[in-house]
Amino acid sequence: FQEPMRSLSPLHRVGAQVSEVLRLHRNQSRGEARRSVLATFEQVGFADPMRPYNAYPFELSGGMRQRAMIAMAMVAKPDLLIADEPTTALDVTTQAQVLGLIRQLQDDTGMAVIFVTHDLGVVANVADTVAVLRKGQVMEAGPVAHVIDDPRHGYTRALLAAAPAIPRDAAPSTARVSEDPILRLENVNKTYTGKGRGFFGKPEAFQAVKGVSLTVPRGKTTAIVGESGSGKSTVANIALGAITADPGSIIHFSPGPGAVVDVTSLDPTAKRRFQRQAQMVFQDPFSSLSPRMQIIDTLTEPLAIHGIGSGAERRDRAAHLLGKVGLDPSMLRRYPHAFSGGQRQRLSIARALALDPALLVCDEPTSALDLSVQAQVLTLLEEIRDEFGLSYLFISHDLAVVSRIADEVAVMRQGQIVEQAAPDVIFTAPKHPYTKALIAACLEPNYAQKVDLSAVALGAGDPQSWPGGFAMDEKSLPPLIETEPGHFVRMYA
C-alpha cells in the first residue's frame, strides 16, 4: 500500500509482524522466519536490520515503515505483486532500492507486477507496458517506449508536461538571502531513547539529529531535503517545540525584527503565543483534519481554543480562509471524506492559516498528492507566502519540489547537514558526493534514458571511501565549510 500504517499494527514489533507472514504461509519455524526476515530487511535497504526488527512502527520514520511493509509483501515470494504507489512517499535513493529490489525478485522468481503510480519517471524506469487512466477509463496503453517517449493522447502529453523536474543546467547565481531570520536553529541535537533494549539491558539511545544549524530568513523558504530517516521530521517538530531537543540546542524564533523568543524555554503564556505564530502543515491531511468534524468546526476550532472573535466572526473567518485556499465557502458544512486529497491538503493549509501565523513548517506537504494536484498546492503555498509575508521551513524528499519553492536548501544525511546553498547552486553545481548521488537518483520520464537502478540504489557508497576531503566516519567528521559565498559543504578544506 501507499500508506504503511494500514498494514502494520501499531501494537507489535515490526520484526514479529513480518515473521508472522512466513509462519502462517510458509510454515516456517521461529528461527527460520527470523533469519528470512532479517535477510529481507537487508535486501530492502535497512543498514542495521536488527533495529527495525525490534522497533515498533512509530519508532521508524515514514520511509522505513514503507520499506518494512514492502519486506512483508516480498518475504513470502508471491507470484503476483500489486503495488499501489509503494514508492510515492520515499526519497529517491530508497525508491531506487525498492524498485531495483522488485526488479531483482522478478528476475529471480518470475513474479508478475502490477505497479500503480502517478510518477512517469518511475513508469519509464520499471514498466514493460503501461496504461494511462483518467476518470476510470484508459486513455492510452502500450509498450512504455511508445507511450512515454511518443505519446499520442493529449492527456498523456499533459501529464508529461506537468511532471516536475530539477534544473539540470541553469547558470549558478550568487544571489543571497537576506539576514533577519525568523527562525534560527543552532547546534541542534536529538537523541531518542528507544523502547528496545540493547545488550546488557541498557535502553538503546539513537541520535537522530546531530549538530544541525540553519536559519529561515523572514519571508523566505528554507528547505530540508534528505532520505527517509535522515531526521527531517524530527527537526520540523523541534522547530515548533513539539519535540524537545537535547540540552544545549538553540532554537530561536523571532516574531518581528529584533525580537527573539527561546523556543526551548517557553512559559505557558509565551507558548500559546508561539503556537499562534508558528504552525505545521503535514504530509497526510488526515492527521490534521478530524473525520468527525465539519470543515467549519475544523477551521474555527483554533480560534475558539485561543478565544479569538465571536461565533459569527469565526464563521466569517472560516469562509474567508476557504476562499483563500481556492475552495468554495459553500463547502463549510462538509466532512473531510467528501474532499479529494488535494482539497484536503488545501483545508489543512487553511486551518494552519486560521491564527494568522508568521511561520509555517511544512513537512512533506505535497508528497501524498498526484502531480497536477501537487503543482497546484505548491502554487497555493507560494501565493499565500507572498500575500501574507509568511516564512516557510519546507521539508521534502522530492528534489524537484524543493528546486521550485526554496530560496535555500539544506541536504540532510543521517541527522547531519552535508551541503547547503541556494537551489540553483545545489542542483546544478553540487559538490558533496551524497548530494550528487541524490540528484543522480531522480528518475526522469524518458524511456530512452533509463537509469541503472541498482547502481543508483547504491547511493553515494561508503562514506569512509569518499575521496577528496569528504570521507567521514564515527571518529572523524569533516566540518561544514563555506567553499564559495553561501555554499556550505561538509568536507576538509
Q: Mask: binding to ligand ADP, 190-209, rule CB under 6 A, as x and -? A: --x-x-----------x-x-
The region of 228-236, 365-373, 404-412, 439-447 touching Mg ion under the rule CB under 5 A is 228-236
Which grid cell sits at 5?
Answer: 500504517
The residues that bridge with 468 in the sheet, in sequence order, are none
Supply the minimum distance, in Å, between the C-beta of residue 68 and ligand ADP: 11
Given the complex with Mg ion, which of 106 and 207 has the nearer CB atom?
Answer: 207
Which of 14, 60, 417, 472 binds ligand ADP (CB under 6 A)? It is 60
Tell me how many helices (H) and strands (E) the chain has: 18, 16
Residues numbered 2-31 forming contacts with ligand ADP, rule: CB under 6 A: none
Supply the minimum distance, in Å, between the C-beta of residue 448 and ligand ADP: 33
What is the number of residues in the chain? Answer: 493
> How would you classify the pairing of strands 278-281 and 416-421?
unpaired
Residues numbered 455-474 forming contacts with ligand ADP, rule: CB under 6 A: none
Given the complex with Mg ion, which of 7 and 237 has the nearer CB atom?
Answer: 237
DSSP 18-61: HHHHHHHHS---HHHHHHHHHHHHHHTT-SSTHHHHH--GGGS-
Total interface residues for Mg ion by CB under 5 A:
2
The residues that bridge with 489 in the sheet, in sequence order, are 419, 481
Q: Does 71 bind ligand ADP (CB under 6 A)?
A: no
Supply the minimum distance, in Å, between the C-beta of residue 83 and Mg ion: 21
Residue 63: contacted member of ligand ADP, Mg ion, none (CB under 5 to 8 Å, by partner type): ligand ADP
Question: Rounded CA gap, 14 and 18, in Å?
Answer: 6
Q: Mask: binding to Mg ion, 231-270, rule CB under 5 A, as x and -? A: -xx-------------------------------------
In 317-446 the beta strands, taken as DSSP E runs, fall at: 359-363, 391-396, 408-413, 416-421
Given the complex with ligand ADP, which of 95 and 300 has the nearer CB atom?
Answer: 95
The region of 57-65, 252-260, 271-279, 308-316 touching ligand ADP under the rule CB under 6 A is 57-65
* Alpha carbon separation from 53 to 12, 33, 78, 123 (Å, rounded): 11, 12, 21, 31
* Alpha carbon separation from 32 to 29, 38, 39, 342, 471 (Å, rounded): 5, 10, 11, 44, 38
The region of 7-15, 230-238, 268-276, 305-313 touching Mg ion under the rule CB under 5 A is 230-238
Question: Rounded CA gap, 364 and 288, in Å?
Answer: 14
The region of 61-69, 265-273, 440-448, 457-465 touching ligand ADP under the rule CB under 6 A is 61-69
Does residue 189 contact residue 211 with C-beta atoms inside 8 Å?
Answer: yes
The region of 138-146, 227-235, 453-461, 473-481 touching ligand ADP under the rule CB under 6 A is 227-235
Q: Residues in the site for Mg ion, rule: CB under 5 A?
A: 232-233
Q: Residues in the site for ligand ADP, rule: CB under 6 A?
A: 59-64, 192, 194, 206, 208, 226, 228-234
